[in-house]
Amino acid sequence: MTFELPKPPVDDADPKALAAEILRSLRYRIGKDASVATQYDWLDAAIQVVRDRIIEHWISSTKQAYEEGAKRVYYLSLEFLIGRLMRDAFSNIGMLETMRKALAELKVDIDVIAALEPDAALGNGGLGRLAACFMESMATVGIPAHGYGIRYANGMFRQEISDGWQVELPETWLDHGNPWEFERRERAFGVGFGGSVESVTGEGGRLERHVWKPTDHVLAVAYDTPVVGWRGTHVNTLRLWSGMPVDPILLDRFNAGDHIGALAESNMADALSRVLYPADSHKAGQELRLKQEYFFSSASLQDILQRHISQYGDLSSLPDKAAIHMNDTHPAIAVPELMRLLMDVHVVDFDAAWDITKRTFAYTNHTLLPEALESWPVPLIDRLLPRHMQIIYAINAEVLLEARASHKFDDEGIRRISLINEDGERRVRMGNLAFAGSHSVNGVSGLHTDLMKATVFADLHRLYPDRINNKTNGITPRRWLIQCNPGLTGLVGKTIGEAFKDDITRLEDIDRFAADAAFREKFAAVKRQNKVRLANLVNERLGIKVDPSALFDVQIKRIHEYKRQLLNIVEAVALYDQIRSRPEKDWLPRVKFFGGKAAPSYHNAKMIIKLINDVAKVVNRDPAVRGLLKIVFMPNYNVSLAEVMIPAADLSEQISTAGMEASGTGNMKFALNGALTIGTLDGANVEIKDHVGAANIFIFGLTADEVAKRRAGGYDPRAVIEASPELSQALSAISSGVFSPDDPERYRDLINGIYDNDWFMVAGDFDAYAKAQRKVDALWRASPEWNAKAIHNVARMGWFSSDRTIREYARDIWNVPA
C-alpha cells in the first residue's frame, strides 16, 4: 500500500499563504501562538517551513542516487565551517524574498531573526570553510555526496578582547536547539579503543585472520543536516557524529563502589565530540585528538560499507561506487581502518584489500608547514589502536618493497619514504600514510602543488609520479556574492541579466562596463553602502567612528606569523610616524581593519593581537593624526563577520611569506566582491593575478624561490633593517615601548625575532610592501581608475567558483559525472 503524503501546502510565491504556514508551524511544532512567541521561536518556525520544502528534494535526491546506482562521494573532514544556514538555504531554494515578506506580514524582521541564528563554527579556518563551500557546490552540480565529520558541542572558541589581549570563551552554538539537524539514533556504530589483537587459526593451525578485542567502547550517533544546492533541486547530507556511551553508567562498577569509574565510558564518549581543537598549525599532539580522528573515521567507514553492502552485496565493487576523500591527513587513520574492516571483518586478503583501499581513497594536502604535518608516536597508536599499528607496518612493508624494487632510492631515500619516522621517538607520518593509501593526492593551488612535489612529497612523488595533481581551491559564489552582497548582485543582475547566477563565469559580461562612467558610479555607490553598514557595526560594537569615505584596508584570517599581520602593523606604525612628522602632506584617509583568532597556545600570535590593539590605542587617539589613520581590531572574526567585512573592503591584504600559504580562499572572496588585492606571489594569489590581470592587482615582494634562497644562507636581516630608515624607526618604536608604556619590554622578543632571524621575511619584504602601499594611495586618488580595476576583478573571478573546483575533482579524481 502506498500513501500519497501531503506536500508542503502553499504557493511559495504568495507571502500571505506562507505567513499562515509560519503561524501553523509556530503553533503545532513549537506549541506557541504569536502573542507569546520569542524571536527565537519565529526563527525556528520560519526555518521549519522552508525545511519542509528542502526535505522533499532531499528524499528525492537520495532516492534517485540509489535507484540509478550512482557513485557517491564521501568527504571526510574533521572540520565543516558552515556558519549560519538560514539565509543561504532560503536563497538557494529561491524563497528569501517571499519569506522576508511573509515574516513582515507577521511583524517579524527577517534580518533580526537571521542575526539570532548561531554561527556554526565547526572549523578553524580555510580548510574547514573549503569543506563547507565544497558541500554546497557538490549539491549545486548534482553530485550525490555525504560529508562526514564530528558534531562538536563546542566549536571554535569565542574570542573576546580584554585590555587588548585575546581571551577564549566556550561557544555553545546548540543552546537554542538546531532546527537544521535530524538525530538518527538508529544510525549508531560502535567504535573501540585499546585492548589487544587475537589470531584466529583454522585447519592445521594456519592463521586465518586477526581479531581486535578493544577494551573501551563508545557509540557514534549520526546527526544529519541537509545541504541545499543552488535552485534547491539537489540536496545532499552532512552527517556529523556525536559520541554516546554504550551504557550511560557501568552499574557493576558503581555497585562495587567505584562511582567515578562507573562514568568513565560516558565521559569518554562526551569528550570525543566535545571540542574542536582550536589550532590550525600547532601540534595538537594530544591523545584525545587521535581518538577523535579514529572515532569519526571508523563510524563513517562502517556507515559507508553498510550502505554499500545493502545495495550491492559485496565490497569488491566499492571503488566503483564510492569515492572517499580525505580532507588533509586528519582522517588518514581511515586507511588502515578500511584495511582492517576488509581483512578482519569481511575476510578479504591483504592484496585485494590494499587494491580496493587505494582505488577508493583520495587525499588533499592543505599545508606544507612542518609543524602542521601530523605524526603520531608509534607507542600511542599501538596502545589505542593495536590492530591498526600492525596494518600500518604491513602497508609500510609493501611500500618499501616497491621503493626498493624501483631502484630509485638509496638508504636515505628509503628512510624518507617510510611511513615511520625513525629519527628519535618513532612516529607514524600521517601524510605518507594518506599518500600511500590513495590513488590521488592533490594540492590546492598551482604553486602549492609544485612545492609539494619538490619538498615534503619529493620521494613519494618519484616513486608514484602519477599521483600528485593540482586542484586550485574555489569558493561558492552563492554565499560569497549573491547572499552576502545583495547590492552588488542586484546591480550586476540589472546590468547583464540574471544568467550569471547559474553560470558564474558569465560575470565576464560586466567587464566592459568598467569603461562606463555611469556604471562605475553605481558600483561605487554599492561599495559605499556596504562600507556604511560595516562602519555602523564598528561603532555599535567598539564605539569607534570610522569614515566610510576612507580607504577600507582589511586583513582577516587566522593570526599566524607566516600570514604576516606583523608586516601590516609595522607598516602602519611607519605610516603613523610619517603622518606625524610631515603633517602638511595630503595624507590619504585609511582605516586598517584586522580580525582573526590565535591558537590559544601560540604565544607570538597572541602577542601580535595585543600589538595591533596597542598600536590602535595610540594612533586612534592621537590628535596629530587627525583621523587620517584608524586601526580597528574586530573581535571574534567568524563566517558571519566575514560576510559583512568582505563586501565592504576596498583593499584585501594577502601578504603571506611566499611559499607558505597553500592557497588562501579569503583572497578569492575579496576580489569577487570588488576589493583590490595587495599580495605576494603566494598560493592562489598567483592564479588570481593571472585571471584579473597584472594591472589590476598590487603584487610585491620576494618570490617563493627567493625566500628559499635567502633562508639557505647569506640573508642578513640587520643589514636590511639598517638600510631602511622607516623600518628601523618603526621597529625601534615598538621594541622600546612607545605603544606599551605600561610594559616597555613587551615586544622586545617579538621584534628581536625579526632582527635575529626574520624567518618570515618581515624585514625582507618591508620596503617592497610600503612601496606597494604608496601605489595603492596613488590609485585610490584616481577613483575612476580604481573603480574600473575593481570591476575587472569582479568580472574575472568566476573561475574561482568552487563549482569549477568540484567539477575538476569529479572528473580527475572521483570519476563521477558532474
Residues contributing to the site for ligand 26V (CB under 6 A): 124-127, 130, 277, 279-280, 283-284, 328, 366-367, 372, 444, 473, 661-665, 683
Q: CB of residue 429 vs ligand 26V: minimum separation in angstroms? A: 14
Cβ contact 58:224 at 8 Å: no
Q: Which residue is nearest to ligand 26V (CB)?
A: 126
Mapped onto helix, strand or coil, the DSSP state of residue 652 is strand
- Residues sharing a CB contact under 8 Å with residue 30, sequence separation 6 or more, in sequence order: 37, 41, 44, 45
Query: Residue holding cell 550525490?
Result: 144
Please indicate whether residue 71 is annotated as part of the active site.
no
Residue 694 and residue 606: Cα distance in Å, rounded?
35
Residue 774, burial from CB neighbour count under 10 angstroms (0-12, 13-18, 19+): exposed
Query: Closest Cα partner for 655 from 575, 725, 738, 553?
Result: 553
CB of 662 to ligand 26V, least distance (A): 4
Identified catalytic residue from 53, 151, 330, 366: 366
Beta strands 80-83 and 120-122 are: antiparallel
As a whole number of angstroms, the distance between CA 113 and CA 110 comes to 5
Q: How many CB atoms lie within 10 A of CB 371?
A: 9
For residue 712, the minimal CB distance to ligand 26V (Å) is 23
Distance between CA atoms of 576 and 625, rounded to whole angstroms? Answer: 7
Give the pairing of strands 322-327 and 72-76: parallel
| Residues contacting residue 159 through CB under 8 Å, at least 6 positions apart | 166, 167, 168, 169, 597, 635, 636, 637
Establish whether 38 is a catalytic residue.
no
Residue 376 CB, nearest approach to ligand 26V (Å): 11
Q: Which is nearer to ligand 26V, 91 or 432 (CB)?
A: 432
558 carries an active-site annotation? yes
Any long-range contacts for 773-778 (C-beta under 8 Å, 24+ apart)? 773/571, 773/575, 773/678, 775/698, 776/551, 776/651, 776/676, 776/678, 776/698, 777/551, 777/588
Q: How far is the CB of 449 from ligand 26V (least distance, A)?
A: 11
CB of 801 to ligand 26V, least distance (A): 15
Cell 591483504 belongs to which residue? 350
State in angstroms the smallest separation of the CB of 553 from ligand 26V.
21
Instruction: Measure CA 299 to chain center.
Output: 22
What are the phi and psi torsion angles at 538 (to 5°)? -65, -40
Q: How far is the CB of 802 from ligand 26V (least distance, A)?
A: 11
Closest approach of ligand 26V to the CB of residue 469, in Å: 15
SS3 label, residue 429: strand
Residue 77 identity (one-letter amino acid): S
Measured from the CB atom, the residue of 303 and 803 that comes closer to ligand 26V is 803
Locate 348 and state its grid cell: 578479504
If the CB atoms of residues 73 and 632 are measured against ligand 26V, the closer one turns out to be: 73
Q: Which is nearer to ligand 26V, 280 or 553 (CB)?
A: 280
Task: Quote the strand ranges of 645-725, DSSP E.
Answer: 651-654, 676-679, 698-699
CB of 230 to ligand 26V, least distance (A): 22
Q: Tell me if 75 sits within 8 A of 127, measured CB to CB.
A: no
Closest CB 285 distance from ligand 26V, rounded Å: 8
Residue 531 annotated among the catalytic residues of the structure: no
Active site residue 215: no
Cβ contact 779:551 at 8 Å: no
**Catalytic-role residue among 461, 669, 789, 792:** 669
- Tell me the residue ranges of DSSP E strands in 156-195: 158-162, 165-169, 182-193
Distance of CA 252 to the CA centre of its chain: 44
In angstroms, rounded to a whole number, what is the distance separating the alpha carbons of residues 736 and 296?
A: 50
What is the dihedral sign for C-alpha 40, 43, 45, 51? negative
Q: Which of 158, 439, 557, 792 is catalytic?
A: 557
Pick between residue 12 and residue 328 the one whose CB is nearest to ligand 26V.
328
142 Rama class: left (phi>0) / alpha (psi -120 to 50) / beta: left
303 or 328: CB nearest ligand 26V: 328
Q: Which residues contact 616 (CB under 8 A, 6 or more apart)?
A: 630, 631, 632, 633
630 annotated active-site = no
Nearer to ligand 26V, 98 or 805 (CB): 805
Choose between 126 and 679: whose C-beta lies nearer to ligand 26V: 126
- Closest to ligand 26V by CB, 250 or 276: 276
The catalytic residue among 439, 563, 590, 630 is: 563
Residue pointed to by grid coordinates 599499528: 389
Cβ proximity to ligand 26V: between 444 and 797 the closer is 444
Closer residue to ligand 26V in complex, CB, 277/637: 277
| Active site (catalytic) residues | 366, 557-558, 563, 665, 669
